[in-house]
Structure 1
């Protein structure tokens, strides 16, 4: 099944665009889709995962607008072809 990731800020630069399509099995999880995203775009690995292979706390992984770490089953949440997946890096700045 094909899923589309929306990437924001510098992550889209590492992936070559703000929308990236990945192929995963029909019974895939958000974690599987994230692994497919990084496998196809190795420059994302150090921006998304720490040295233990865990998603950095400051990186937000969203499924249908909700952070998977605070709703659902985390990266084990299942996905369907109609789900919207997004990846947000930390955002800073905005001083006055």
Structure 2
């Protein structure tokens, strides 16, 4: 997903994400409707959320693409299995 975040905006979001605790963890069932509804609830109040993804790297990459498509969010940073996303401002 392409976005028009400037380097400054992305840097600010990365800095914010660094100190933010993990909001949710993806379970064994992967990206479920319940997980998506919880993320939507978080996005109602905040621009940023942090998620702990699958331990398997290829599954993690698929999960990132799924989240970006289903929720209109963009990946801000990824450290290990933890990814931070921001909602896209249209």
Q: TM-score, normalised by structure 1?
A: 0.27
Structure with more relative contact order (C-alpha pairs < 8 Å, separation 6 or more): 1
Q: In terms of Rg, which structure is larger? A: 1
Greater share of residues in helix = 2
TM-score normalised over the length of structure 2: 0.27
